[in-house]
Every structure is written in structure tokens, then in C-alpha cells.
Amino acid sequence: MQHGAECTPAFDMVIFGGAGDLAMRKLLPSLYQAHAAGLLHDDGRILALGLNEFTQDEYLAYVEQHSRPNVKESYTDAQWQSFKARLDYLHVDATQVDDYRALAEKLGPPAGRSVVFYLAMVPHLFARICENLAAVGLNHDQARVVLEKPLGTDLKSSNAINDAVARFFKEHQLYRIDHYLGKESVQNLMAIRFGNALFEPLWCREWIHDVQITISEELGVEGRGDFYNVTGAFRDMMQNHLLQLLCIVAMEPPASMDADAVRDEKLKVLKALRRFTPEDVEEKTVRGQYTAGAIGDRAVQGFLSEPGIPADSTTETYVALKAEIDNWRWVDVPFFLRTGKRMKDRLAEIVINFRDVPNTLFPSPLGRHTANRLVIRLQPDESVRLHFLAKEAGDTMRMQPAYLNLDFHEMFKVRRADAYERLLLDVIRGRLALFMRRDEAIEAWRWVEPIMETWKTSTTPPAQYAAGSWGPAEAEALLSRDKIVWHVES
């Protein structure tokens, strides 16, 4: 078993969309990894539900073909075979209440087990599924429901889904997943901030000049054209992942690590985010769309030529914006957020740029605002790097950039769970801290909505950027008004 980790209680993991893309790419491989690490209770069953008329053997063959290649670590034949023994398949049409009777019969009484319903389905079915579960008595106290994003397309539709689900399940039974919260470095960010005396006194407007949060991807829309064209980068990434990261950087120390204590603090940040007026949207946001280009040495097509994307689509594949938080800690500290598809590198990082020293005693080779910075890298590697200036060796007092680097893989040579594995284990164990509470989701929609509304009526098309670049030139201009540049480090 993994060092320091405890095994789950007995459980049933019921996956709606059990033969779907998410189940094959993420859920089953993550559950396998937890199994191989000895973290799943021996009495833990995984029941996949779907519309296909698979026999048990056909389903296992399907899993073999579509999911096993996605197992990235700890693979052994023996472990894989014993993992497959946990799997079962049931033909269920999620819209038909009669099918749920067979499900209830298969599950039997919960008898102290943790029963998880993972809704890896389109969100407009969530309400119906919850209603049907309740109709056959499966909304008992031990039931937990995982809601995959996107939870609606705006505040109204998100509220409608949440209201409908809340008729059958209590808030503490609902796990709104944002897989970025399950990433090791996101948790480390909290540990670094709140477990050390070093950073917290500097973590405020007196010492921080600006914060930059980047999530860039090399991937394009990857066969999800229909979905992506109506969703766009803003809803797909900004409304959830980037805002969640911003909350963790900006939140006040919670009274404890209890789920609600943490979520209360994140909520306060979302409430303090300054709302955008239509003029702000023009001035402080940049939408982009990729054109043909190259990722490494591979030529790739532009967004408008991707399957499922209309030739006149104005959907953004890139967003950059300047967010401001109106509270005592952060007023006047810009938070620059950006995300995009088909960018130069796959990267997720948080950069804290500290203010300059008040008086420059030594000649420095660097410009302003560059001497002290903390770079927290979430992927591809997990590291924390603290940049500062030091004297160059020799007679002169010339300064050179230097840094302290903490690479978590080097430092802690223990197996680390990937985001989905950690979050699935948390659901089985009933830990809510890394899941979004309803009021957080609502507040996030309230903040993004005026931006979406302004874009809807805007006559300015998204700025173009070549696939394989760092995004449109307009995003550089967004920062240059504050006399800074985006941090890029290889």
C-alpha cells in the first residue's frame, strides 16, 4: 500500500457512461492505479452502466481495448486481471426509470458501503438520472453523486441543473468535480502558503506586483468539435479551472482544512472579484482563435478547418484577461489569467511576481519586476522555483539571476496519485474539500456572465494566433500596459 495512505471503505462505484470516453480515458485507469497501489477496499465493486447491449465478457474486452492503453503506471498483468474482477456491466438507459430497478437490485442494500454514482454523461440528463435514482430508493444517506463539468452553459442553466439535482440529493452528497483541484501541486500550493511562515507575510499587495496563471495546451479540439464550438475556452477552462486556481492563490487562511472552511474562503474570493463592465471587457480581455501552424515539427490545421467547426465560428480557443480582487489583501494587484489550445507548450503554472526593492544599490542586468518571483509549476513537471538576484562571483558587485528549485519528483520519491485518482478516492471516502460547492459555482458564473454577454454582441472577431505560438499579440499588449510581460520559462 502507498506510504501514509489509507484504504477506502467498502464501496460501489456506479459509472453512468461506463463505456464512454471519460470512463475509458480517465476513470477506469485511475481506479486501476488506486487498486494497484492497494488503496481500494477488497470489497469495492465498479459497475459500469451504458446503452450498449454488452455481455460481461464483451464489456471486459471493450475495456481491454479502450482503457488498458490509458494505464500509465504500475501496470502488471496480474494486477490488471484482479482489477477486472471488480468490474461489472449493466445495460441501463439513463432516461428509463424501469432500468433503475435492475440497478437497485444489483446493488442491494448499502449496508455501510459508500455508494457513488458518477455521472459521466451530458448534463441535461443529470436531473432525470437523480430523479430516477430517487424513484427506486437509491438516494439514501450513503449515496454520493459526482457531477462532471460543464454544469450548464450559463448561470440560468447551471441553476436549473443544481435545483433539479437538489430535489433528490442533499448538498453534502454532491461532488462537483474540477479535476484541477485534484492535482498534486494545487494541494502543495495550499501547503506552501499555510504550512510555512516564510510566504504568508509577503502574500499581499504590499509585496506582490502581479500574479499570472497560465494553462496552455498543445492539443486542439481533438474530435470534440461539436462540443467545443458551443463551449469555447472561456467556459471550458476559465470559468472553472483557472478561477479555482486563482481562488487558492488568493484565499485567506481557512480556520481548518475542513471542506466548508476551505470552500467558505474560496467563495469570498469569488465574491470579491471585480465585475467587468462592457468597457472593461474591451480593455481587459483578449479572445483568440488559432490558425494553421505547427506543434513541434507537426503541421496542424486551423480551428476553422477542424471537423465539426463551422467556417464562420467565432468561438474562442484562447482567452487572456486581467482580473482584479477588491479586498484589502489584493486591491491593485492584477491577476492575469490565460489559457489556450494549440499553444507552444503544454504548461500549467502560477507565477507570483514580487515588487522591486525600493532602492537599487546594485547594477542589475534585469528590468523591473523580475528579480523575485515564485513559480509554481503544476505540469508537465511539479516544481516550485524561487527566483532572486545574487552577486556574480568575482571583484564586481554585478548581480545575476539565480533560483532555488524544488522538484517534487526528485524530493519525494513516492508514488503520487493523478488528479482523477485522488478525487475518486476522496469521493469514496466522503471528503468534499476538493469539490466545488454550489455557491462557488454560482459565483463563478456570475463573474463570467457579463464577459460572455459582451462578447456575444461584440463585432470584434477573436484575434488570430498561429498554432504553436504563445497566443495573439493582443495578449502581450494586455500586460504591457502594466509594464510587464508574460512569464515564459522552459
Distance of CA 40 to the CA centre of its chain: 24
Size of the site for ligand BG6 (CB under 6 A): 4
Q: Is 111 left (phi over 0), alpha (psi -120 to 50) or beta?
A: left
Return the beta strands (E) in 148-268 as ranges: 174-176, 208-216
Closer Cβ to ligand BG6, 173 or 214, answer by number: 214
Helix, coil or strand: residue 241? helix
Helix (H, G, I), strand (E, B) or coil at 262: helix
**What residues from 226 to 255 belong to the interface with ligand BG6 (CB under 6 A)?**
236
Tell me which of 209, 241, 387, 487 is the catalytic residue.
241
Work out how close the CB of 416 gets to ligand BG6 at its nearest, in angstroms, rounded to a whole number: 14
Q: How far is Cα 350 from Cα 242, in angstroms, rounded to an integer? A: 10
Q: Is 402 in the site for ligand BG6 (CB under 6 A)?
A: no
Count of all residues that appear for the chain in the document? 490
Distances (CA, A) of 367 to 360, 363, 370, 483: 12, 11, 6, 10
Calpha distance 396→390 (Å, rounded) = 12
Nearer residue to ligand BG6 within complex by CB, 201 or 380: 380
Nearer residue to ligand BG6 within complex by CB, 181 or 273: 181
Dist. CA 50–CA 122, nearest whole Å: 13
Alpha helices (H) along 273-358 = 278-284
Can you tell me which of 148, 184, 210, 217 binds ligand BG6, judged by CB under 6 A? 217
Of 59 and 318, the one with the shorter C-beta distance to ligand BG6 is: 318
Give the 3-state secondary structure of residue 127: helix
Q: Which is nearer to ligand BG6, 236 or 316 (CB)?
A: 236
Query: Which residue is closest to ligand BG6 by CB?
Result: 236
- Site track for ligand BG6 across 340-379, x = CB under 6 A: --------x-------------------------------
* 454: its cell numbers: 459582451
DSSP characters for 52-81? S---HHHHHHHHHHHTGGG--SS--HHHHH
| 89 or 234: CB nearest ligand BG6 | 234
Q: Work out how close the CB of 126 gets to ligand BG6 at its nearest, in angstroms, rounded to a whole number.
A: 17
- Measured from the CB of residue 427, what is the shortest distance to ligand BG6 in angstroms? 17
Q: Give the Cα separation of 156 and 170 in Å (integer).
A: 20
CA distance 73 to 75: 6
What residues numbered 420-439 form the site for ligand BG6, per CB under 6 A?
Answer: none
Q: Compute the least distance from the CB of residue 176 to ligand BG6, in Å.
A: 13
* In the block, residue with C-alpha cell 471486459: 60
State yes or no: residue 219 binds ligand BG6 (CB under 6 A): yes
* Single-letter residue type at 421: E
Q: Is 307 exposed, middle or buried (0-12, 13-18, 19+ CB in 10 A)?
A: exposed
Q: Is 241 a catalytic residue?
A: yes
Nearer to ligand BG6, 349 or 443 (CB): 349
Looking at beta carbons only, is 217 or 426 nearer to ligand BG6?
A: 217
Shortest CB 302 distance to ligand BG6, Å: 18
Report the chain's C-alpha Rg in angstroms: 24
Minimum CB distance to ligand BG6, residue 424 (Å): 15
User: In angstroms, rounded to a whole number, what is the distance separating the alpha carbons of residues 376 and 112?
Assistant: 41
**Residue 300: CB minimum distance to ligand BG6, A:** 15
Cβ neighbours, 10 Å, residue 63: 23
CB of 419 to ligand BG6, least distance (A): 6
Counting Cβ atoms within 10 Å, is residue 2 exposed (0-12), middle (13-18) or buried (19+)? middle
Half-sphere exposure of 339 (CA within 13 A, CB side): 19
Q: Which residues are identified as catalytic? A: 241
| Residue ranges in contact with ligand BG6 by CB under 6 A | 217, 219, 236, 348
